[in-house]
Amino acid sequence: MLEILSRPWPWYVAGPLIGLTVPLLLWLGNKPFGISANLRHLCAACIPARVPFFQYDWRKESWNLFFAGGIFLGGLIAGTLLRNPAPVQMNPALSTELATYGVHDASHLVPVELFNVHALLTLRGIILMIVGGFLVGFGTRYAGGCTSGHAIMGISSLQWPSVVATCCFMAGGFLMANVVLPYILRLP
């Protein structure tokens, strides 16, 4: 059983399981799926300031905090107890391209050469980690939700703004990966 859980699952198993969360959440009480709203719930619960954006009954959405906690706990268990010791497999052309940018060990999910404390003190690290993190947070708030909320919940419930947001997420991802990221990776 542990061997089955420690390997990546094929798309035709994982995809429907993820997709079934939408009708399950709707059936369990008309609950929307999404993760990014949890930051707002945490701020509403923990920040005593009278900021109008955080003044709502966050307790009604506390189930979402438990859901996000379960995702974190599941990731922690999977990363420690169910870790696959084999290196991440990737296309050899991608490995060759990454080597031209100075990433020689891409056998981990996150390349250590790009994401570590020393790399954070470089221009490339500041752009990738700090500016990139800010842009992801800003984009999530500006789009009214994250990729999982829009792509999984929004599209399945036939919401036109979610279709537009998901198309923009995809276009931005393709543009970033193919046009902008190669320039950033060439920075010192």
Q: Is residue 38 part of a domain?
A: yes
Q: Is residue 79 part of a domain?
A: yes
* DSSP, res 54: G
Q: What is the pLDDT of residue 120?
A: 85
Domain region containing 68: 1-86
Task: Using alpha carbons, select from 18, 6, 142 the residue that is nearest to residue 71.
Answer: 18
Q: What is the pLDDT of residue 72?
A: 92
Q: Is residue 104 part of a domain?
A: no
Q: Is residue 10 part of a domain?
A: yes
Q: Is residue 102 part of a domain?
A: no
Residue 157 DSSP SS3: coil
Q: Is residue 161 part of a domain?
A: no
Please state the pTM of the whole predicted model.
Answer: 0.72
Distance separating alpha carbons of residues 188 and 185, to the nearest angstrom: 8
Q: Residue-wise pLDDT tens for the chain (188 aa)?
A: 677 777 778 889 988 888 888 888 888 888 877 788 888 888 888 887 788 888 888 888 888 888 889 989 988 988 888 777 777 778 888 888 888 887 887 777 778 888 888 888 888 889 988 999 898 888 888 888 888 888 888 888 888 999 999 999 999 999 998 999 888 888 87
Number of domains, the chain:
1
**Structure tokens given for 98:** 């990454």
Q: Is residue 55 part of a domain?
A: yes
Q: Is residue 3 part of a domain?
A: yes
